[in-house]
Amino acid sequence: MHEDTSRLVSRATDALIRSMAGDEAPQWRLTLEGYAELFARASHVAAAELQRSRAEVAARPDLAPEAAGEWRPKLRRLLEADPGAAERLGDLLRRLDAPAPEGTANTVDGGVSGGVVVQARDVGGGVGDTIQGDRIDRSGATAGRDVIGVQYNGGRDR
């Protein structure tokens, strides 16, 4: 294996295992999607294997070297079979090394079927209390991209 490829595989494996062992869901999502995409036609299989490896490493951090031993040859074979994958992998590593964006990121991971997702700055009160303040009521709404609901501004409908 070419030395540059070997170095890239080593960096990529280290970044993958670091993300598996980390607690940051947005970073793991970026890692998972990026690595799975590298495997093109088998991305769904790679994503499932990455999730399995991460679950093992999260539950038992002592398994990190075993996961690295599993993914290092997979990445090496990928780069040998697909020369364009090296550039995509390098791009992914640069994105993973980029500082996290400032501000707040809200994520709903998984589907919400028949449930309610509430996004608010302050929520107070208890059972039987009325919600006060600005909000968007999305109960019963299904949305692909745009927010759908009724906006309340201090009790005044808009």
For residue range 73-113, list pLDDT tens digits in order: 999 999 988 888 889 999 999 988 877 666 655 566 555 55
Q: Which pLDDT value is given to residue 59? A: 92
Residues of the chain with pLDDT > 90, as a percent, come to 26
Q: Note the pTM of the prediction, 2 decimals.
A: 0.52
Q: Could you give the CA distance from residue 50 to residue 68 in angstroms, rounded to a whole number?
A: 11
Q: Specify if 105 maps to a domain.
A: no
Q: Specify if 112 maps to a domain.
A: no
Under 8 Å between Cβ of 17 and 57: yes
DSSP state of 83: T
b/e per residue, 100-123, with b = 16+ CB within 10 A?
Answer: eeeeeeeeeeeeeeeeeeeeeeee
Least confident of 38-47, 66-75, 90-99, 112-121: 112-121
Q: Specify if 138 maps to a domain.
A: yes
Structural domain that includes position 140: 117-158
Q: Specify if 102 maps to a domain.
A: no
**Is 25 in the same domain as 61?**
yes
pLDDT of 132 over the 90 cut:
no
Q: Alpha helix locations (H) across 39-63? A: 43-59
Q: Specify if 87 maps to a domain.
A: yes
Q: Please tell me the chain's helix, strand, coil percentages from 3-state DSSP, rounded to the nearest 5.
A: 55, 5, 40
Q: Specify if 110 maps to a domain.
A: no
Under 8 Å between Cβ of 73 and 12: no
**Is 128 in the same domain as 62?**
no
Cα 141 to the chain's mean position, in Å? 25
**Is 132 in the same domain as 89?**
no
Q: Which pLDDT value is given to residue 1? A: 47
**Is 52 in the same domain as 125?**
no
Q: Specify if 45 maps to a domain.
A: yes
Residues of the chain with pLDDT > 70, as a percent, come to 61
Average pLDDT over residues 108-124: 58
When divided into structural domains, the chain yields a total of 2
**Is 87 in the same domain as 9?**
yes
R_g over Cα of the chain = 21
Q: Could you give the CA distance from residue 124 to residue 135 in angstroms, rounded to a whole number?
A: 13
**Is 7 in the same domain as 85?**
yes
Q: Which pLDDT value is given to residue 124? A: 57
Q: Specify if 111 maps to a domain.
A: no
DSSP state of 39: T
**Residue 56: both structure tokens together:** 């093992």
**Residue 18: both structure tokens together:** 């670091």
Q: Which pLDDT value is given to residue 14? A: 92
End-of-domain residue from the set 67, 97, 127: 97
